[in-house]
Amino acid sequence: AQSVTQLGSHVSVSEGALVLLRCNYSSSVPPYLFWYVQYPNQGLQLLLKYTTGATLVKGINGFEAEFKKSETSFHLTKPSAHMSDAAEYFCAVRAAGNKLTFGGGTRVLVKP
């Protein structure tokens, strides 16, 4: 069975500062990993995904994530936070079959 742990349910960053959201997973098979973002009153939107190949994945809105197999991690970063990045972010893992297992989410607050 697979599971996802997101460290920190809330993160506060200053505008222009680094955004770092942590995600660790467990999976019995090679994982496929996703980051989704949810803005208020909206559904989830894909930021980026890792399937195979290059372990550093670039996504939309300046976000990127690095798959580290040895650490079972897939942390999300953005060099410079913008006010529009305030949202909730979800890490997800997909192993065998077509099921996604989501982490508990991290809500990002951006301070001016």
**Which stretches of the chain bind another protein, using CB under 8 A?**
4, 32, 34, 36, 41-46, 49, 51, 90, 94, 97-105
Retrieve residue 5's tokens.
């742990």
Nearer to another protein, 17 or 22 (CB): 22
What's the min distance (Å) between Cβ of 85 and another protein? Answer: 19
Nearer to another protein, 62 or 105 (CB): 105
What's the min distance (Å) between Cβ of 24 and another protein? Answer: 14
Nearer to another protein, 42 or 84 (CB): 42
The number of helices, as runs of H, and strands, as runs of E, in the chain is 0, 11
Nearer to another protein, 46 or 109 (CB): 46
Helix/strand/coil (H/E/C) assignment for every residue in 43-78: CEEEEEEECCCCCEEECHHHCEEEEECCCCEEEEEE
Tokens 């951006």 belong to 110
What's the min distance (Å) between Cβ of 6 and another protein? Answer: 9
Task: Provide the pairing of β-strand 64-68 with 44-50.
Answer: unpaired
